[in-house]
Amino acid sequence: MSSHATPIPMTSSACGPLSGVAEVPGDKSISHRSLILGAMCVGETTISGLLEGDDVLDTARAMRAFGAEVTDLGGGNWSVHGVGVGGFAEPEGVIDCGNSGTGVRLIMGAMATSPITATFTGDASLNGRPMARVTDPLALFGTQAVGRKGGRLPMTIVGAAEPVPVRYVVPVPSAQVKSAVLLAGLNAPGKTVVIEAEATRDHTERMLSGFGAEITVEDTDEGRVITLTGQPELQAQHVDVPRDPSSAAFPVCAALIVPGSDVLVPGIGLNPTRAGLFTTLREMGADLIYENERTEGGEPVADLRAKFSPDMKGIEVPPARAASMIDEYPVLSVVASFAQGQTMMRGVKELRIKESDRIDAMAKGLRANGVEVDEGPDWWAVTGLGHGNVPGGATCASQLDHRIAMSFMILGMAANAPVSVDDGAPITTSFPIFEPLMARLGANVARVTA
Ligand code: S3P
């Protein structure tokens, strides 16, 4: 679990051209959902390509605590013998979700309509994040929650013994909230309806349908209306987890800013609810090509080829695109530092309540490395210095946030002086092979030993 990891200071310095093939790990969102949905089926679900990062391993442990048999078969292959919808057992101990907001929020939803009680905790980052966004809609099913001030973990959830179905308009653009309500709706009789004004990642809807639930999605004037019929018998499946576009973002962005680079990142899902970064980079003038476009498991997939792009321009990122690239703004801000002119990012207040306040974490670190950043409550703007002009040279606080740590490591690859982070340990939550993968491409990322 990441909760007690010892800090790992890291540094990244200029390197020659990055080249080769970057096979990034499985998608974090789909990995969590495969374990949770597998645990809610009767029978054996098999999973290949599971992301074996700390966040997902914490979810695997949690599913065992709720009674599922979860087995690591080696090589990214896992087996889950589930307990069926409504079959969760009461865990004996506290459920520690480490650093993972997705893990804790989805699991709270999944257990919320069973007559059991569970207590959740996490690391310092997760214990500071708001949970009322999930416990408020869960209360409509009849679920009770008692946490610390401000709806923070540690928190005890008392599942509804006689849940009722709900109709809920999600007030913030959040796939975690939407998914928690849908997973709770699985064990409520009748139809649970979730409405989102802005489309967020739709893995839960797609996977629920794949596991045999009756679920419909309609685009209306109110937004996306998702209707789930409760108490289905989910069908155990094989899930082949695609590679994570949010992890692909790091080698792609590194290749765009390191002179002479040419990197292929194969098999990346381009589900429109996840691919906003790549569209944005192309609008900035990135040499980023989709090769071998195909459909796999009903999802658009391509091999991404990214080449050094010295002439990128700052742009205004459309706020309507925010949900489809919400995890990629930190690394986008690094690329924006090497572009010409300003990159303006609006409609992104959700960034302030991720694993860290990501606007604050990136703004402080970029400024320390010589890049001008302006910010407001729900926007920020990076003034690009152009290729070859980013000073670097500073140590940045990663604030227990994997994506902040990796973003600054990417900055160091093309800045004029090395860039360091105080703690790269959180990288293992989502991208445990980040260091060897970047090293194989030719990057100089090193752990700093005292
Ligand atoms: C996720 C949803 C997003 C994202 C997170 C993964 C998911 O969070 O930031 O990394 O798997 O549902 P929000 O729902 O809070 O936007």
Q: In this predicted model, what pLDDT tens digit does every residue of 130-154 receive, in sequence order?
A: 999 999 999 999 999 999 999 999 9
Q: What pLDDT sits at residue 4?
A: 52
Distance CA 375, CA 365 (A): 13
Q: What pLDDT sits at residue 230?
A: 98
Q: What pLDDT sits at residue 271?
A: 94
Q: Which domains does the chain have, with CATH numbers?
A: 2-26+242-447 (3.65.10.10), 28-228 (3.65.10.10)
- Residue with the smallest CA separation from ligand 1 atom 9 is 327
Q: What pLDDT sits at residue 2?
A: 43
Q: What pLDDT sits at residue 8?
A: 98
Distance CA 181, CA 196 (A): 12
What does pTM read for this prediction?
0.97
Q: What pLDDT sits at residue 190?
A: 97
Cα 119 to averaged position of ligand 1 atoms, centre (Å): 22
- The pLDDT of 100-117, averaged and rounded, is 98
Q: Where are the alpha helices (DSSP H) in 112-174?
A: 132-141
Distance CA 12, CA 365 (A): 14
- The pLDDT of 315-323, averaged and rounded, is 98
Question: What is residue 313's three-state secondary structure?
Answer: strand
Distance CA 61, CA 77 (A): 16
Q: What pLDDT sits at residue 449?
A: 85
| Tokens matching residue 153 | 């973990």
Cα 103 to averaged position of ligand 1 atoms, centre (Å): 10
Pocket test for ligand 1, best of 37, 174, 273, 430 (most atoms within 8 A of CB): 174
Given strand 95-96, what is the order of strands in its sheet?
A: 95-96, 117-121, 152-158, 144-148
Q: What pLDDT sits at residue 284?
A: 98
Residues with CB under 6 A from ligand 1: 29, 102, 174-176, 179, 201, 326-327, 350
| pLDDT tens for each residue of 52-84 | 999 999 999 999 999 999 999 999 999 999 999
Distance CA 134, CA 194 (A): 13
φ, ψ of residue 44 to 5 degrees: the values are -100, 120
Task: Give the residue ranges of the annotated binding site.
Answer: 28-29, 33, 101, 129, 174, 176, 327, 354, 358, 403
401 is catalytic: no
Angle between helices 54-65 and 101-111 (to 10 degrees): 20
Q: Which of 27, 55, 327, 401 is catalytic?
A: 327
pLDDT tier for residue 273 given thresholds of 50, 70 and 90: very high
Distance CA 248, CA 271 (A): 14
Mean pLDDT computed over every residue of the chain:
97
- Cross-strand partners of 396: 421
| Tokens matching residue 226 | 């998702």
Q: What pLDDT sits at residue 3?
A: 46
- Residue with the smallest CA separation from ligand 1 atom 11 is 29
Least confident of 208-217, 293-302, 395-404: 293-302
pLDDT exceeds cutoff 50 at 239: yes
- The number of the ligand 1 atom at minimal distance from the alpha carbon of 179 is 12
- The pLDDT of 348-359, averaged and rounded, is 98
Environment class of 218 (CB within 10 Å of its CB; exposed 0-12, middle 13-18, buried 19+)? exposed
